[in-house]
Chains A and B, each alone.
Chain A
Amino acid sequence: NAGVTQTPKFQVLKTGQSMTLQCAQDMNHEYMSWYRQDPGMGLRLIHYSVGAGITDQGEVPNGYNVSRSTTEDFPLRLLSAAPSQTSVYFCASSYSGTGVYGYTFGSGTRLTVV
């Protein structure tokens, strides 16, 4: 099915470990983004990309890196995991960052850092 695919769905990391959350879309969307969702705080934008080779920081970028080498893929790297990064992570894509076409979200990655 067309859409946004995130892997893994669940992950437990130890403090200090690094990992990459994968995100792929097959809708030829130019805009992709990563959010984290914490209880009572809503989704917060980590990084976004308006096209291959272009990335920018969102509201909470510290501790995360991204790259966009292809239109389809937008991986999120945790450099040195901390308990404060325990959260649910959503990848989203759209034809445009303005949101007027709606964002399509992946099903999420539930990350626990111990």
Chain B
Amino acid sequence: RKEVEQDPGPFNVPEGATVAFNCTYSNSASQSFFWYRQDCRKEPKLLMSVYSSGNEDGRFTAQLNRASQYISLLIRDSKLSDSATYLCVVNYNNDMRFGAGTRLTVKP
């Protein structure tokens, strides 16, 4: 079983749509959680950290459920520029574990 699991997609949505990605992790002692974005053939870049209380950054909302070991990312009002692969990342003692990513394509 992978330590961090994501639906690989692809998710194909029209501009303006709301889309949600989910992620589960296996290490219950994991300490910190993140979403990264990776464009095709580029390096990953931090999108946002994920806090237990949930947090929002503009059109992006992240949620963490420690009891269920589940992380989510909600994107509202999708833009063409949101097309990318979204990586769920979980940290335990300086060891960052990455999910394989969920690919999103936003179409006009």
Contact = CB atoms under 8 A, between A and B. Distances in A.
Interface of A: 31, 33, 35, 40-45, 48, 50, 56, 58-59, 90, 97-100, 102-103, 105-108
B101 A98 contact: no
A102 B96 CA distance: 11
A100 B43 CA distance: 18
B21 interface: no
Contacts of B43: 90, 105-108
Contacts of A107: 42-43
Chain B CB within 10 Å — which of A44, A90, A97, A99 has the most? Answer: A99
Chain B residues touching A, majority SS: strand
Chain B CB within 10 Å — which of A31, A43, A106, A108 has the most? Answer: A43
Interface stretch (B12-20, B58-66, B69-77, B87-95): B87-95
Contact of A43 (B31, B44, B93, B94): B44
A58 B95 contact: yes
B42 to A, nearest CB: 7
Interface in B44-59: 44-46, 49
Interface size class of B (residues with CB under 8 A): 20 to 34
B25 interface: no
Contact of B96 (A40, A50, A99, A108): A99
Given A98-B32, A99-B34, A108-B43, A31 B100 contact: no
Contacts of A40: 8, 100
A105 B89 CA distance: 14
10 contacts: A33-B96, A40-B8, A45-B95, A56-B94, A97-B95, A98-B94, A99-B32, A99-B91, A102-B34, A102-B46
B46 A98 contact: no
B94 A105 contact: no
B98 A100 contact: no
B104 interface: no
A102 B46 CA distance: 6
B39 to A, nearest CB: 11
